[in-house]
Chains A and B, each alone.
Chain A
Amino acid sequence: MKTETSAVNIDRSKGDFFYPEAHVRDAGIGLSEKTVHYIADVKEDPDWVREYRLRGLKTFLEKPLPTHWASKDLEAIDFNKIRYYLSPGTEPKRSWEEVPDDIKRTFERLGIPEQERKFLAGVEAQFDSEAVYSNIKKAVGEQGVIFVGSREGLKNYPEIFRKWFGKVIPIADNKFSALNSAVFSGGSFIYVPPGVKVKHPLQAYFRINAENFGQFERTLIIADEGSEVTYMEGCTAPKFNTPTLHSAVVELIALKGAKIQYITVQNWASNVFNLVTKRGLAQENAEVKWIDCNIGSRLTMKYPSVIMKGRKARGEVLSIALANDGQHQDTGAKMIHAADETTSNIVSKSISIGKGRATYRGLVHVPKHLKHCKNNTECDALLINATSRTDTYPAITVRGTGNAVQHEASVSQVSAEQIFYMQQRGLTEAQAMSLSVNGFVNDLVRQFPMEYSVELKRLIELEMEGSVG
């Protein structure tokens, strides 16, 4: 489908613009077995993947929306009006020169090639359903690190791919993981060989450009024994009149002694439904750390999890959610302790502005037979206005003795006196607010890589400017 518009549509914030579509592969509108077969055909899936997709579809159709505990707003998604696959029909390029001009311009405006030159070990850029660019620095590739799109991973590294795909998050985990299993496309496949420590982060950037569209990337990261890797993902979309759906599945596998750090800065437009399942598996002495920042979207439901399967495994979730007017950030963390001496840490900070709503849902599970497990959970909420809302649902089941859990929660408010005080020193109301918010998240942000804390600070400023008179 091609649109006639030649001009670029631009708005104030960085991600809110789009170029006319030029997709060659289009699965059409709505979801049926036909859609799934179309995607499998286009992607030349092996039979086992096609079957997997069909099972995903069946499960998705069987499962009800989780509105008995989650937001009723989910009912606003019309699964029959969404387009499930759109791509230019070409392989991802290895250099930006080869990427089609309008797509290249999109990523240039988002600053991706520049960041790649500055501090990244590799970049994958996804535009609607497929990666359009994927490259890894030569030195990193020579160490045997694989960083490609999920399709290429499946095609070129079938043994590793199949061994781990769907093993951490089963199809039926939830309705949206089932949906992703049916129509997944794009996302990253990463393998880090034993002992290799990737110094600089690998970055993926997910961009939705088309209206009425659903993006369903699938990411699989395997860090072999003693290896280390940091992966960062960013996401934006322009604001269309109709809701857009983003429903990813991300599986991390940290083998013995490996470390995976996964960083997200989600800045979707305010009518994107962002329903993502993320889970990591940590073997003996391994560490999985999620740093999760949710700034945009209409409704985000995301609870990064870690299953600590080996002795002394560690899991961590550090998250920041900012819910502005009309937004609901329903986020949290799950820590499943499945071996002795495992430790987990959850620090969650949420900010609600205007009529924005932030929800924290936590789950910490330590079965009875385990010894010397530890969890620390801290969730703090900041309310900017009297109309702002926050809810906390921590579920901590720790059985047995010799396990230690610590849980702290706080709700605070930016007071009018505090804002007045800051204004008296010369800051505008918006500056005062964003400084207060930055202060609130400061101790957490300090633990993030530099490049991301700067980005985050800028995004918070942008949000506060927009929210004050």
Chain B
Amino acid sequence: MKELNIENLHITVGEQEIVRGLTLRVPRGEVHALMGPNGSGKSTLAKVLAGHPDYQVSAGKVLIDGENLLELEPDERARRGLFMAFQYPSEIPGVTIANFLRAALQSRLPEGKELEATDYYAKLYEKIELLGMDRSFTSRAVNEGFSGGEKKRTEILQLAMLEPKYAVLDETDSGLDIDALKTVAHGVNSLRCPDLGILLITHYQRLLNYIIPDHVHVMVAGRIVRSGRKELALELEERGYDWAREGSAEPAFR
């Protein structure tokens, strides 16, 4: 069972229920796009998968390769192979990208084992090139003073370096100009492999022209209301969320 398995997930913040019975399976090797209007709970889902302490899971479960994800600390989840590209990445003043990623990779090694510095830099520069960034970027502090687009690229750089089993990309395309969008899409595509499952959160069908998903899901008000193949995204663009919502009366499917 190599998959990220979300079953009947309910998420609350305070009194408010934001995700209301969401079921979704992302097997390794597939790309699943998740679309939905503002405030439908996409980022909330992503953050809960990553273990954000602000949210409570009131019902349901999440399994990663058959293991209960929800009882793990955020860093344990990451080391088990879950990666999230943030919609709004944090700044880490004074910590360079190179040092940060080095520490992140080091944390995945068994105690007493040191990361090989030469191999590390070779890999870092290879990925930097893949994402059309300048090497000097790696000596800048993580996200500090970065433009919106630079932040998004840096998220994908981290994805490429950390080689997770599952990646949740939360609106990695928003704020990117068309050239940057192509580069980032190219970066993600080059990482696609049978070992990586991707959940791609986006508002724009445009991204899906470059990263072609295996499945598309539409989320409205904390639930998946429609699922389909890549054509669903086109149909959604044409018909809008009201059309998608109509489907929500039907029994849930994936």
Contacts and interface: CB of A to CB of B under 8 A. Distances in A.
Interface stretch (B13-21, B102-110, B113-121): B102-110
A415 B90 CA distance: 9
B73 interface: yes
A424 B74 contact: yes
A426 B79 contact: yes
Contacts of B89: 421
- The interface residues of chain B, by DSSP majority, are classed as mixed
Nearest to B99: A435
A427 interface: yes
Given A420-B74, A425-B78, A439 B103 contact: no
A316 B246 CA distance: 71
Contacts of A415: 90
Interface stretch (A12-20, A167-175, A231-239, A440-448): A440-448
Given A423-B74, A424-B50, A441 B100 contact: no
A429 B78 CA distance: 13
A159 interface: no
Interface residues of B, number: 31
B94 A418 contact: no
A424 B82 CA distance: 8
Contact of B94 (A417, A422, A423, A441): A441
Interface residues of A, number: 25
A425 B74 CA distance: 9
Interface in B31-63: 50-53
A440 B93 contact: yes
B93 A423 contact: no
Interface string B63-86: 000000000011101110001101
A76 interface: no
A319 B109 CA distance: 34
A106 interface: no
A432 B107 CA distance: 11
Of A418, A422, A429, A440, most buried by chain B (CB within 10 Å of CB) is A422
A456 B50 CA distance: 32
A436 interface: yes
Contacts of B73: 423, 428-429
A392 interface: no
A46 B100 CA distance: 58
Nearest to B74: A423
Of B74, B103, B105, B107, most buried by chain A (CB within 10 Å of CB) is B74
Nearest to A412: B93
Nearest to A430: B75
B95 interface: yes
A1 interface: no
B95 A417 contact: no
Interface in A178-234: none
A438 interface: yes
B141 A428 contact: no
B75 A426 contact: yes
Given A426-B104, A428-B75, A420 B95 contact: no
A435 B103 contact: yes
A411 to B, nearest CB: 13
A142 to B, nearest CB: 39
Contacts of A425: 78, 100-101, 104, 107, 158, 162
Interface string A386-429: 00000000000000000000000000100111101111111111
B94 A420 contact: no
Of B90, B99, B100, B108, most buried by chain A (CB within 10 Å of CB) is B90
A431 interface: yes
Contacts of A438: 94-95
Given A425-B78, A426-B108, A442 B100 contact: no
B107 A431 contact: yes
Interface string B145-185: 00000000000001000100000000000000000000000
Contacts of A424: 50-51, 74-75, 77-78, 83-84, 86
A392 B77 CA distance: 40
Contact of A420 (B53, B91, B108, B141): B53
Contacts of B99: 435
A427 B79 CA distance: 9
Interface string A12-49: 00000000000000000000000000000000000000
B94 A443 contact: yes
Contacts of B78: 423-426
Contact of B93 (A426, A427, A439): A439
A417 B75 contact: no
A442 B100 CA distance: 13
A439 B141 contact: yes
B95 A416 contact: no
A439 B92 contact: yes
Given A423-B75, A424-B78, A427-B75, A418 B92 contact: yes
Contacts of B79: 426
A279 B99 CA distance: 37
A380 to B, nearest CB: 10
A431 B103 contact: yes
Of A415, A422, A425, most buried by chain B (CB within 10 Å of CB) is A425
A439 B100 CA distance: 10
Contacts of B105: 426
Nearest to B88: A417
Of B51, B91, B107, most buried by chain A (CB within 10 Å of CB) is B107
B107 A426 contact: yes
Nearest to A440: B94
5 contacts: A423-B74, A425-B107, A426-B79, A432-B75, A438-B95
The 8 closest A-B pairs by CB, nearest first: A439-B94, A439-B95, A421-B90, A423-B74, A425-B104, A442-B94, A426-B78, A426-B107
Interface of A: 412, 415-418, 420-429, 431-432, 435-436, 438-443
Given A424-B75, A424-B78, A439-B92, 8 more contacts: A418-B92, A422-B100, A424-B74, A425-B100, A426-B107, A427-B104, A431-B75, A438-B94
